[in-house]
Structure 1
Amino acid sequence: MKYAKHEAKGYARETMRGIWAAALNPFDDKLQMNEAGLRRNIRHWIDDLGIKGLFVAGKQGEFWSMSLDERKRNMTVAADECGDKAGTIMSISDQNVDTVLELGRHAQDCGADYVVVHAPMLSFVHDRDEVLYNYYKYLCDRLDIGIAMWSHPDSGYLMAPETCARIAELPNIMAIKYSVPREMYARLSRMVGDKILVSTSSEEEWLDNIEELGWQLYLCSSPPYLLQTTNDRRMDEYTELAFAGKFDQARRVRDSLNRVRDAIRSTKPGGKPTAHGKYWQELLGQVGGRVRHPMLELTQAEKDATKAAFEASGLKL
Structure 2
Amino acid sequence: MAKYTQNEAKAWARKHMVGSTNAPTTPFKPDFSLDEEGLAFNVNKYAEIGLYGLMTGGNMAEAWNMTPTEWNRYTQICASANQGRMMLTSVILDPSPFTVIEKAKFLDTLGYDFIEVINPVIQLRSDADLYGYYKYLNDHSPLAIVLYQTPTAGVLLNHGLINRLADLPMVVGIKNGVSNPADSIAMRKMCGDRIVVTEPMESFYLWDRIVHGAQCIFGTLEVIMYGRLRERFFKLQALADAGKFDEALPIYRELDPLRDLLSELFMVPLVTRNQYALAPIKYWLELLGFKMGVCRPPLAPRTDEATQARIREVLLKTGAIVDTDLKAA
TM-score range for the pair, normalised by the shorter chain length: over 0.9
Cα offset, 1:178, TM superposition: 0.8
Q: Which runs of 4+ in 1 moved over 4 A?
A: 266-269
Cα offset, 1:15, TM superposition: 1.5
Q: Distance in 1 between matches of 2:134 and 2:189?
A: 21
Cα offset, 1:316, TM superposition: 5.0
Structure 1 residues 51, 154: closer, same or farther in 2, change over 3 A? same
Is contact 1:228–1:315 with CA below 8 Å preserved after alignment? yes
Find the counterpart in structure 1 of residue 291 from structure 2: 287
> Which one has the bigger helix percentage?
2
More moved, 99-108 vs 270-279: 270-279
- The superposition leaves residues 227-273 of structure 1 with CA deviations (integer Å, 9 ceiling, x where unpaired) of 233x6422221111111121111121111101222344445694662
Structure 1 residues 116, 191: closer, same or farther in 2, change over 3 A? same
Structure 1 residues 267, 139: closer, same or farther in 2, change over 3 A? closer
Find the counterpart in structure 2 of residue 304 from structure 1: 309
TM-score, normalised by the number of residues in structure 1: 0.92
Cα offset, 1:99, TM superposition: 2.0
Find the counterpart in structure 2 of residue 115 from structure 1: 115
Among 219, 237, 240, the alignment partner of 1:239 is 237
Q: Distance in 2 between matches of 1:17 and 1:172?
A: 18
- SS of the residue corresponding to residue 215 of structure 1 reads coil
In the alignment, structure 1 residue 314 sits paired with structure 2 residue 319: yes
Structure 1 residues 280, 248: closer, same or farther in 2, change over 3 A? same
Q: Distance in 2 between matches of 1:23 and 1:212?
A: 28
Is contact 1:17–1:217 with CA below 8 Å preserved after alignment? yes
In the alignment, structure 1 residue 205 sits paired with structure 2 residue 204: yes
In the alignment, structure 1 residue 276 sits paired with structure 2 residue 280: yes
- SS of the residue corresponding to residue 94 of structure 1 reads coil
Q: Distance in 1 between matches of 2:235 and 2:174?
A: 25
In the alignment, structure 1 residue 38 sits paired with structure 2 residue 39: yes
Query: Which ranges in structure 2 are unaligned for 5 or more consecutive residues?
Result: 270-274, 323-329
TM-score, normalised by the number of residues in structure 2: 0.89
More moved, 294-303 vs 22-31: 294-303
Q: Distance in 1 between matches of 2:240 and 2:306?
A: 39
In the alignment, structure 1 residue 257 sits paired with structure 2 residue 261: no
Is contact 2:60–2:276 with CA below 8 Å preserved after alignment? no
Find the counterpart in structure 1 of residue 74 from structure 2: 74
Q: Distance in 1 between matches of 2:42 and 2:279?
A: 16
In the alignment, structure 1 residue 194 sits paired with structure 2 residue 193: yes
Q: Distance in 1 between matches of 2:82 and 2:142?
A: 21
Find the counterpart in structure 1 of residue 98 from structure 2: 98
- SS of the residue corresponding to residue 220 of structure 1 reads strand
Q: Distance in 1 between matches of 2:321 and 2:307?
A: 22
Q: Distance in 1 between matches of 2:263 and 2:184?
A: 24
Cα offset, 1:46, TM superposition: 1.8
Q: Distance in 2 between matches of 1:77 and 1:177?
A: 25
Is contact 1:264–1:306 with CA below 8 Å preserved after alignment? no
Is contact 2:146–2:175 with CA below 8 Å preserved after alignment? yes
Q: Distance in 1 between matches of 2:265 and 2:151?
A: 23
Q: Distance in 1 between matches of 2:97 and 2:68?
A: 13
Cα offset, 1:314, TM superposition: 3.0
- SS of the residue corresponding to residue 233 of structure 1 reads helix
More moved, 59-68 vs 156-165: 156-165
Find the counterpart in structure 2 of residue 9 from structure 1: 10
Query: Which ranges in structure 1 are unaligned for 5 or more consecutive residues?
Result: none
Is contact 1:18–1:218 with CA below 8 Å preserved after alignment? yes
